[in-house]
């Protein structure tokens, strides 16, 4: 920990934090000092290229995040760093490890908010598909299908068009 505190920000710092987090055994709560260091680092350097790797490493620890201060830390990072290249991987992993219904709803809201205005990004399709897999509210499901169907016209030349089309077919033809 002292080593990390003494190093100025660099890609190496994110490697050190990621390595430190990967040493934590699964299901073992993080030491408060580690959480403090990671929190301060993300506050200061959350927009650097290594930040998504640090956040993913937090999720890999496997601790129960919902109801934990780490949930707020990760949600804050996600809301502030939509444009980061690793955002989609963190988002998908967070949806996979989160079990609390209220927390999952907050994550779905983050993803739905992200979809608006990011239609040209290649990650848009991955977020839409993931949301269609996890939403439980029928109204949200219909809204996502409508959003996907609205995206299809004008995007026929994109290589990922067929993936969106197939996912929408799968969702609307799914037996209840």
Q: How far apart are CA 100 and CA 17, in angstroms?
A: 27
Higher pLDDT, 172 or 8: 172
| pLDDT for res 65 | 44
Cα 35 off chain centre by: 19
**Which of 1-5, 92-96, 98-102, 141-145 is least confident?**
1-5
Which pTM value belongs to this model? 0.75
Segment 98-115 mean pLDDT: 80
Alpha helices in 23-160 (DSSP H): 32-45, 51-60, 69-80, 87-97, 101-115, 123-134, 138-151
Closest by CA to 48, choosing from 80, 1, 73, 70, is 80
What pLDDT, in 10s, does the model give residues 12-64? 677 777 777 777 776 666 667 777 777 777 777 787 778 888 888 877 775 55
Pick from 123, 111, 131, 130: nearest CA to 158:
123
Instruction: Give the whole-number percent of the chain exceeding pLDDT 70.
Output: 81
How confident is the model at residue 144, as a pLDDT?
A: 95
């Amino acid at each position: 920990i002292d080593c990390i505190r003494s190093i100025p920000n660099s890609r190496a710092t994110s490697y050190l934090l990621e390595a430190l987090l990967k040493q934590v055994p699964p299901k073992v709560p993080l030491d408060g000092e580690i959480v403090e260091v990671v929190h301060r680092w993300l506050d200061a350097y959350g927009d650097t290229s290594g930040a998504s790797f640090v956040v993913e490493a937090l999720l890999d620890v496997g601790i129960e995040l919902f109801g934990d201060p780490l949930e707020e830390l990760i949600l804050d990072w996600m809301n502030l760093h939509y444009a980061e290249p690793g955002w989609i991987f963190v988002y998908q992993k967070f949806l996979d490890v989160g079990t609390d219904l209220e927390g999952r709803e907050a994550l779905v809201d983050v993803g739905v908010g992200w979809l608006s205005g990011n239609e040209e990004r290649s990650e848009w399709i991955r977020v839409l598909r993931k949301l269609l897999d996890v939403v439980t509210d029928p109204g949200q499901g219909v809204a996502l299908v409508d959003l996907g169907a609205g995206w299809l016209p004008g995007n026929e030349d994109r290589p990922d068009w067929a993936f969106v089309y197939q996912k929408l077919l799968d969702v609307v033809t799914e037996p209840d």
